[in-house]
């Protein structure tokens, strides 16, 4: 197993880690890879900005990124048919498929496609998911110098979709609670009881039109991941 796909370091251990050890190992792993991940986000933003400057696409592009929660990673790791290749993820949303195609081709100049899946579901979910990694010869594009090696630059899953599909994921037939088979009432209770924590929530980032990468607070993260949750304006459910 590639180190980039091995948060539990099973190749370096005599026995598999228990669940508590997995949480600790996962935290160490994501911390180690975070600098490389942020550099990838910045590089991809620059690719999109270049397309916009040359008038090839409009400025109407939204970039989100996230690091999968430890609980979700551990749960997926327990599934034999589930590859743990989406610890680090991005979502690129544009106005139409033509713009998305141009963005994908631009990114291909610097990143290899390891896996690709095109979705076109009956519920209206239409998107391209790609697991990608930086090309060795393009590492300098990340502007990290020698302080970060290739093994510290993660593979990432990038989801490409239109704003129409994104809206469908929020309030339409393809909404999160449907395809994840989640119980909205249970999630609401967890929120009300302040049980949504750093263990079961992803770390989420947004990129504004100046290229500034910001980490979302807990309130904004819940709103993005669980748009059906009734959020409190303050107090219960708001603490990190």
What pLDDT does residue 74 have?
Answer: 87
Distances (CA, A) of 24 to 28, 59, 94, 157: 6, 40, 37, 23
What is the C-alpha to C-alpha distance for residues 211 and 194, in angstroms, rounded to an integer?
Answer: 32
Tokens matching residue 240: 């990190």
CA geometry: angle 22, 27, 33, nearest 5 deg: 120
* pTM of the predicted protein model: 0.88
Residue 112's nearest CA partner among 138, 89, 94 is 138
Parallel/antiparallel/unpaired status of strands 126-134 and 111-120: antiparallel
Tokens matching residue 148: 């970060």
Q: Is 113 helix (H, G, I), strand (E, B) or coil?
A: strand
Q: Is 166 helix (H, G, I), strand (E, B) or coil?
A: helix
What pLDDT does residue 9 have?
Answer: 57
Structural element, H or E, at residue 221: helix 218-225
DSSP annotation of 58: -
What pLDDT does residue 80 have?
Answer: 53
What pLDDT does residue 237 have?
Answer: 36
What pLDDT does residue 3 have?
Answer: 47
What is the C-alpha to C-alpha distance for residues 68 and 103, in angstroms, rounded to an integer?
Answer: 24
- HSE, CB side, 13 Å, CA atoms: give it for residue 15: 4
Could you list the pLDDT tens digit for every one of the 240 residues in the chain? 454 556 755 555 567 788 888 899 899 999 999 999 999 999 999 999 999 999 999 889 999 999 999 998 888 766 655 557 789 999 999 999 999 999 999 999 999 999 999 999 888 899 999 999 999 999 999 999 998 999 999 999 999 999 999 998 877 776 655 545 678 899 999 999 999 999 999 999 999 989 999 999 999 999 999 988 999 875 443 333
What is the C-alpha to C-alpha distance for residues 31 and 172, in angstroms, rounded to an integer?
Answer: 35
What domains lie within the chain, and their CATH numbers?
3-174+204-215 (3.30.460.10)
Residue 19 CA, distance from chain mean position: 23
Question: Would you say 94 and 163 are in contact if contact means Cβ atoms under 8 Å apart?
Answer: yes
Tokens matching residue 10: 């099973």
What pLDDT does residue 41 have?
Answer: 98
Question: Would you say 86 and 131 are in contact if contact means Cβ atoms under 8 Å apart?
Answer: yes
């Amino acid at each position: 197993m590639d180190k980039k796909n091995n948060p539990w370091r099973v190749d370096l251990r005599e026995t598999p880690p228990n669940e508590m050890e997995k949480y600790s190992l996962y935290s160490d792993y994501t911390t180690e890879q975070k600098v490389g991940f942020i550099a990838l986000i910045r590089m991809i933003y620059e690719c999109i900005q270049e397309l916009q400057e040359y008038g090839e696409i409009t400025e109407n592009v939204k970039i989100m990124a996230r690091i999968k929660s430890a609980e979700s990673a551990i749960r997926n790791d327990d599934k034999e048919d589930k590859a743990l290749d989406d610890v680090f993820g991005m979502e690129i949303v544009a106005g139409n498929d033509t713009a998305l195609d141009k963005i994908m081709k631009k990114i291909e100049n610097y990143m290899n496609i390891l896996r690709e899946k095109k979705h076109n579901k009956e519920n209206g979910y239409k998107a391209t998911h790609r697991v990608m990694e930086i090309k060795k010869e393009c590492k300098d594009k990340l502007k990290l110098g020698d302080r970060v090696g290739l093994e510290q630059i993660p593979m990432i899953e990038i989801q490409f979709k239109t704003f129409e599909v994104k809206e469908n994921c929020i309030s339409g037939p393809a909404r999160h609670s449907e395809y994840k088979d989640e119980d909205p009432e249970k999630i609401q209770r967890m929120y009300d009881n302040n049980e949504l924590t750093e263990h079961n929530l992803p770390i989420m980032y947004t990129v504004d039109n100046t290229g500034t990468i910001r980490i979302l607070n807990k309130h904004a993260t819940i709103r993005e991941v669980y748009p059906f949750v009734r959020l409190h304006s303050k107090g219960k459910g708001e603490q990190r």
